[in-house]
Structure 1
Amino acid sequence: MIAWEFGAADLAGSRFAHSPMAELVASMFALRGAGAAWVAPGWVARASAAAGPTLRAVAAGPRGYAPDFLTPVPPTARPRLADELATVSSTPADRVAAEVLDGWTGHAPPPEILAFERDPAAALGVLIAELRAYHEAAIAPLWQRLRGFADAEIAGRMRVAAAESPRAMIEGLHPRLGWDGSALLIRYPHKSGQWSGGPGMTLLPTGFAGPEVYAMTTGRSLWYAPRGYGNLWSRPPSPGAALTALLGPTRAAVLTLLAAPASTGEVADRLGLAPATASHHLTTLRDAGLITGTRAGRRLLYQRTGLGDELTG
């Protein structure tokens, strides 16, 4: 177990964000462990084809971690990929070379890694191009759903902090996490030690984190999966016969779908409905107390309430 110094003042200074680069790098980790049941085979094939040789060598090397410069802590709650890539591109060349080569310590580095030793600026340019191409193929098609899960997760955690306590909010993020008031306890099965602290913590709900939790000591951030991450690739579930008889087929399908958060447009798209039809059913379900809407920036995300969960069984 890791005890990471984290006191009450750090909790007060913590914040949430959703990072394109965190999703991208975590997806490379998921791709490396593609036997996991929650990763869709179709996505694995598409992402594998899109991952260039430099990206693979840098982000999925033999030591099992990605260089810190690839995952800058976002200064805003919803950074754009272009802004994060600009930050990555501005990393000093000596730091780029040192972190990339460190990932291959004790192993024979391939030509893509040796290029960082010869000309780190040029090699970084190649990496940036591969990051963009990979994001377009592997992350962008899922981006709205990833953002929806993250937005709903953040809103839900804020409700827990307000209704119960900040401690309950932190301890509920992931089964491996706990907090004793002075340290964040990360129950890694094969790691132990004590980590020093720093101001605050950035909490990054990251769909591609899957069942893992990742602690980034540089900049103090924590990646964990939002609730519902396993539904990233799932088709809309079919409602049960009893629910269909009670609510009608369309309204039952909408309620069944909303086990994970979705906007009106996403409900319409996934169920093949006109936006006005989806909006009508969502309003009816909300007025009945079966779903609730949470504002996330300009988007309104709907998700089942406890009563809705009980009704769907």
Structure 2
Amino acid sequence: MSMIEFAPADLVGLRLAHSPLVEVVTSGFALNRPRETWLYGSWAARVRPLLAGAGLRTFLAVISGPTCYVPDFLTPVPATARPSLAEELRVVAATPLDRVAAEVAAAWAGHPAPPEIRRFDTDPAGGLAELVRQVQRYFELAVAPVWPRLRAAAEGEIAYRARLAAEDGPQALLAGLHPRLDWDGSALRLANGKPGQWSLDGQSLTLLPAGFAGPRVYPLTAGPAGRALWYPPRGYGQLWAQAAPAEPSAPLAALLGSTRAGVLTLLAVPASTGEVATTLGLSPATASHHLTTLRNAGLVVGERVGHRLRYRRTALGEQLSAIDGVRIDGR
């Protein structure tokens, strides 16, 4: 069991953010550990041919070392809630070279390292520059096509947690965060995690929802910019199974009608009008009509993310979506 000392006073410094580099690294896990990350099978099948011959040997060697350790410098804790990839890569590029060399070597400790890894011993500056270039290329090929939905899922998670904190206090940020995670008021305990005990050492803890995190929680317990937890956002499965959206419960369908109930259920992950229409097989006009009706009823709200307007469930919409097997006539 992993344990991070975390007292009530530490709630003040708790933050949420969405990191492109965390999505990059966790997507690498999805490629390298197919048995653990079967959910991403269709994505991986599309991506692997694109990566073949793309000149990414340094990046792939760094994130797939035999010790299962990924260098911490590659995923710096974001300074802002919504950093761009370029902003994060500037932080990576400024990492002290002795730290770069030490952490890359740790990923291959006790194992024969390929030339791309050995380069960091003799030319850490050149190795780091090449790694940054390859991360950018990998993102363009593998992550950018699904980035709008990754960002939307994270935005929905951040908004949901913010509402909980506003309504029930900051401790609600940790309530129900993940089935394997428990907070007892003095420490965060991660079941089935790597054994160890850490403290925040006066630094903040940042929660980083990541669509590629799968069913796991990943603690980042060391680093000059603070501590972090990577975890899957609510409804993350719908990011990868758009052909088979979740069915609304019978009581919800009886209350709202099957189509509107389907739209509200789908919005476990924020979506645009076009995405709702495509996923549920509706015309854009019909999808827009149902979204407008749900918005006017206070069940969803539209938020602009980049150039797109995406809809997410409100607190009332969340509560209504949770009904299952309850007699709506009150008996």
- TM-score of the pair, normalised by structure 1: 0.87
Equivalence map 1:97-176=2 (5 Å): 97-176=101-180
The Cα shift of 1:167 comes to 2.6
1:108-140 superposed Cα distances (whole Å, 9 cap, x missing partner): 111110111121122222212221221112211
Name the structure 2 match of 1:227: 234
Paired residue type of 1:306: Q
Paired residue type of 1:17: A
Name the structure 2 match of 1:307: 320
Paired residue type of 1:75: A
CA distance in structure 2 between the partners assigned to 1:63 and 1:161 by the alignment: 38
The Cα shift of 1:297 comes to 5.7
**Structure 1, 79-88 or 4-13: larger mean CA deviation:** 4-13
Are 2:58 and 1:58 equivalent residues in the alignment? no
The Cα shift of 1:246 comes to 8.5
CA distance in structure 2 between the partners assigned to 1:192 and 1:182 by the alignment: 15
CA distance in structure 2 between the partners assigned to 1:114 and 1:277 by the alignment: 58
The Cα shift of 1:208 comes to 0.9
Name the structure 1 match of 2:270: 261
Aligned residues: 312
Q: Is the 8 A contact 1:203 1:221 kept in 2?
A: yes
**Structure 1, 202-211 or 268-277: larger mean CA deviation:** 268-277
- TM-score of the pair, normalised by structure 2: 0.83
CA distance in structure 2 between the partners assigned to 1:274 and 1:134 by the alignment: 35
Gaps of 5+ in 2: 327-331
Secondary structure at the aligned position of 2:39 is classed as: coil
1:78 to 77, 82, 87: 82
Name the structure 2 match of 1:96: 100
> % of aligned pairs identical?
53
Are 2:206 and 1:202 equivalent residues in the alignment? yes
Q: Is the 8 A contact 1:152 1:296 kept in 2?
A: no
The Cα shift of 1:20 comes to 0.3
Gaps of 5+ in 1: none
CA distance in structure 2 between the partners assigned to 1:264 and 1:312 by the alignment: 29
CA distance in structure 1 between the partners assigned to 2:246 and 2:203 by the alignment: 47
Q: Is the 8 A contact 1:213 1:224 kept in 2?
A: yes
Are 2:289 and 1:285 equivalent residues in the alignment? no
1:228-251 superposed Cα distances (whole Å, 9 cap, x missing partner): 1111121253868x8889977764
CA distance in structure 2 between the partners assigned to 1:181 and 1:312 by the alignment: 34
Paired residue type of 1:215: P
